[in-house]
A and B are shown apart, each in its own frame.
Chain A
C-alpha cells in the first residue's frame, strides 16, 4: 500500500485531470469487509443460457451460477457427486438412476427437486442447441422420469458408455422461474440470455455481455464453501479485456487478480514480476492440421506423409516457449485409453522426400492452402512455420485466416474443404469417444471432420467402443483406433498447448482441471489472502 500512496502523491503533482483517479494502483476491491476478486480474459459472455451456448468464458459463469448433477474436479479430472449424491447404472447400461441431495436450493429459495432436473434435461434436448448434441441421439425427453422428489431416472435408447462423462455439463435451471418468464413457447430462452435461474455458489449481480459479469457469492450456498467463512469473497468480477497488453497491465497494476489468454512470450515476463504467480498446466486441447483426404493433392496419402515428415515439430514448442507437449497419438495424453503410437512422424527430411517421390508430385512445385481461424495468433505463426518447413519440398503454402463460419462452410464438403485446416479440439469430457468420434465417417463435414477421412474399419471400431460396457475391451479398441489413424495420417498431429493463467500471489484456492476449456477455471474455491 505504501507504493500506492507514493503514486498518488505523484499524481497530485500531475495534471489536474488525473488527480485522485480511482481504480489505479488498487489491490482487490473490498465490499464491506469482504473482497471482490477480478478475473480477466478476452472472451465475452453473450448468452448465459446453459442449454443454448457454451464456450470457455460462458461455461465458467454458468458453472458458477448453476449446479449440475455431477461435477468435474481436479487433475486428472474426477467426476464428483454434486446435486446428485449418488447414481446407479443398470447392468445393461441403459438405465441411470440419480439420487438427489435433500438440501439444495435455488437462489430464490425453491428446492432443487427431481422435477427441476427432468425439466432441465428436457429443455436442453428440446432447444436442440448448445449441449444437445451430447445426448440427443441416445436420450428421448419422454424417457426422463422424476420418480419421486429426490430420484430421477434416465432410460437410454441404446447403451452409451460416455453418458456419465457428459452429465456434468447439463446444468439445472429452476422450472418455476423459467415458466414465469416464458415468451411464447421459447422455454425461457430469451429471458435466460441475461438472467440466471440457478442454485450455484454465485448469484448474478450484473450482466454486461461485452464488458463484465459481476457475481455475488451466495453466503448460505447449500453445499457450503471450501474456504474459512471469514475468507469467503463477497463476489467475483469477470472482466473482458480483449487485448493481451492491457490485460497484463491490469494484473501488474492489481486491477485484476487473475488473468488468462496470455501469449507464450508473456509467461517468462510475468513470472519475473514480483507478486505474480504463473499457473502453467498441461492442457488437453489438441492442435492438428487436418488434410483434405478426399480432394486435391492431399488426397494422396504419400503427400500427407511427406508433409508430416517435413514439418518442424520443434517449432511448435518454440512458438509456445516450451509450454506445449507434442502429440504422440490422436488423443491428448490426459485422455483415458491414450497410448503413445510408435512411429508417429517427426521431422525427417529424407523420409519426407522419399514419400514425396512416391506421391503424384515427386518434385513438389505445388501450392497448398492453409486455413486458420481469423485472429488466432498461434495458428497464424504455426502456418508460418509450416510454410518454412515445406520450402524444403518445394511446396508453397498460402496462409489464409478466415472467419469461423466461412471455414466450417468450406469444410462441410470435400470439394470445398481446404487442403490444410488448422483445428483446435478440446474434448468435452474424459471419455475417449469424444476425441475418437471426430475420425468417424459420421463426422464428415463438421468442423472436426473437415479431413473427410474415410476408413470403414476405424468407423466400425468407434461404434463398437461406444456400446462396449467392458472397460478393458474398450481401451484395447481405442489403442487400435489410435494406431490406425496415425497410419492413415488424415491430419498432421501437432501439440497440446499448456493452459496458462497468471495470478497475484494472494489469490488462493486456484485449482486446475484439464477437462475445462482453455482459460476456464472453477471460480467457486477462489479467495484472497490478507
Chain B
C-alpha cells in the first residue's frame, strides 16, 4: 500500500513537471511583447526596456524557465506582467472563493443526484424516469454561461430575490479569514447574518456549476440501482416481503457508493476548470475569473499559476479516490 502510494505521488510530481513545461511553452508561443504590457500604454522605449529587465524577460528562454522552476519550488508563482502583483498572493486570495463554490456545487450534486437516480430507477421507463433522464442530459447540455445568465435574469433582475453577482454585498467587510470559506467562517464565528448573505450570493453559481456533476451522479445511481434491483437476492428479499425502501437503502445505495465516489474524484478537477465560465458570469472572485481576465489581457503568469493549481487538484482528487477505492473495496487493491 505504502509503495503504491509513493509510486503514485512520484508519478503525480512527474506530471506536475510536465504541466509546468506545457504551460511554459504555451505562454511563450504568443507573438507578444510582455515587456510592453508591463510598462504600460504610454511608456517609451526606455521604460519598456526597464520593464524587460525588471521581469527578467531579457534573459534567454531556458534561463527564464529555470528561474520559474526554482521560484515554483519555493512556492513562488512569479509576478503578473500586467499588474506587477505576485501571482502566489493573488492565487491565495482567490482560491478559497473557488473552493467554496466547488464544494457547495459538489454537495448539491450528491444530495440531489443520488435520490433522483434512485427515484428514476424505481420508476424505470415511467414518465418520471424519462423526465429525470432528460433532466440529467440537460445538465450536461445546458451551456453553463447561458444558464447562469438566465438565472441571473430571473432571480436577480426580474424577481429581485437574489443578488446578481459577487461573493458579498459591497458594504459588508469580509471577516478575517479562518478557512477562507465564507459559509464556514460565518458559522464558526456564529455570524448568521453573514452566513445568509454569503449563501444568497453563492447559491445561483453553485446551482449552475453543480448541474453536470448532478447529472453524472444521477445516471450512475440509476444504472447501479437498476442493476441491483435485478439481482437474485433482491428479488428473493422482495418475495420475502422486505419493503422496497429497505432494499434501496441497504443494497442498492451501497453499490452506488463507489461509482459515486469515482465521479466526485473525476468531477472535482473538472469543476475547478469549468468554474471559469460560472465565475465569469457571476463575477465570482475566484481563480477562474482570474485566469480568464489575465488570458484576455495576454498576461500568462496568472494563467500558468491557475493551470498548475487546477492540475494539482486533479491529481490529488484522483489519488484520494484511488486510495479510498482501495480501502472500501479490497478486491480492487492493486499490486
Contact = CB atoms under 8 A, between A and B. Distances in A.
A141 B107 CA distance: 60
Interface stretch (A47-55, A389-397, A479-487): A47-55
Interface in A207-252: 209-212, 214, 237, 239, 241-243, 245-246, 249-250
Nearest to A46: B83
B150 interface: no
Contacts of B173: 206, 214
Nearest to A446: B44
A405 B84 CA distance: 15
A101 to B, nearest CB: 30
A128 B50 contact: yes
Given A23-B169, A403-B296, A428-B42, A53 B84 contact: yes
Given A22-B169, A24-B160, A209-B85, A405 B33 contact: yes
A132 B172 contact: no
B84 A47 contact: yes
Given A128-B47, A409-B31, A409-B32, 19 more contacts: A18-B200, A21-B200, A23-B171, A23-B172, A23-B197, A29-B171, A46-B85, A128-B50, A129-B39, A129-B40, A132-B43, A133-B43, A137-B44, A193-B84, A245-B157, A246-B164, A404-B36, A405-B36, A416-B31
Interface in B152-187: 152, 156-157, 159-167, 169-173
Given A21-B162, A22-B193, A36 B171 contact: yes
Chain A interface size, as a band, is 35 or more
A38 B172 CA distance: 13
7 closest pairs, A vs B, by CB? A403-B298, A23-B169, A46-B83, A409-B33, A405-B32, A406-B32, A405-B37
Interface in B17-38: 30-34, 36-37
A373 to B, nearest CB: 9
A99 to B, nearest CB: 30
Nearest to B81: A405
Contacts of A128: 46-47, 50
A447 to B, nearest CB: 6
Contact of A53 (B40, B161, B166): B40
28 contacts: A7-B160, A17-B200, A18-B200, A20-B196, A22-B172, A22-B197, A24-B163, A46-B84, A47-B84, A47-B85, A53-B83, A53-B84, A129-B50, A132-B43, A193-B84, A210-B285, A211-B166, A214-B173, A239-B170, A245-B164, A246-B164, A249-B156, A375-B296, A403-B295, A405-B81, A405-B299, A406-B31, A409-B33
Contacts of B42: 133, 428
A447 B41 contact: yes
Contacts of B299: 405
B191 to A, nearest CB: 12
A408 B38 CA distance: 12
- Provide the main secondary structure of the chain A interface: loop
Interface of A: 7, 11, 14-15, 17-18, 20-26, 29, 36, 38, 44, 46-47, 52-55, 128-130, 132-133, 136-137, 193, 206, 209-212, 214, 237, 239, 241-243, 245-246, 249-250, 253, 255, 374-375, 402-406, 408-410, 412, 416, 428, 445-447
Contacts of B51: 129
Given A210-B94, A404-B298, A46 B44 contact: no
B266 interface: no
A412 B51 CA distance: 16
Contacts of A46: 80, 82-85
Interface string B224-265: 000000000000000000000000000000000000000000
B328 interface: no
B199 interface: yes
Contact of A246 (B45, B283, B297, B298): B283
Given A24-B163, A46-B83, A47-B84, A133 B47 contact: yes
A525 to B, nearest CB: 22
B203 interface: yes
A271 to B, nearest CB: 19
Nearest to A45: B83
A211 B298 CA distance: 21
A29 B172 CA distance: 10
A136 B44 contact: yes
B199 A412 contact: no
Contacts of A404: 36-37, 41, 297-298
Contacts of A129: 39-40, 43, 47, 50-51, 54
A11 B165 contact: no
Contacts of A212: 170
B36 A38 contact: no
A253 B170 contact: no
B290 interface: yes
A162 B2 CA distance: 72
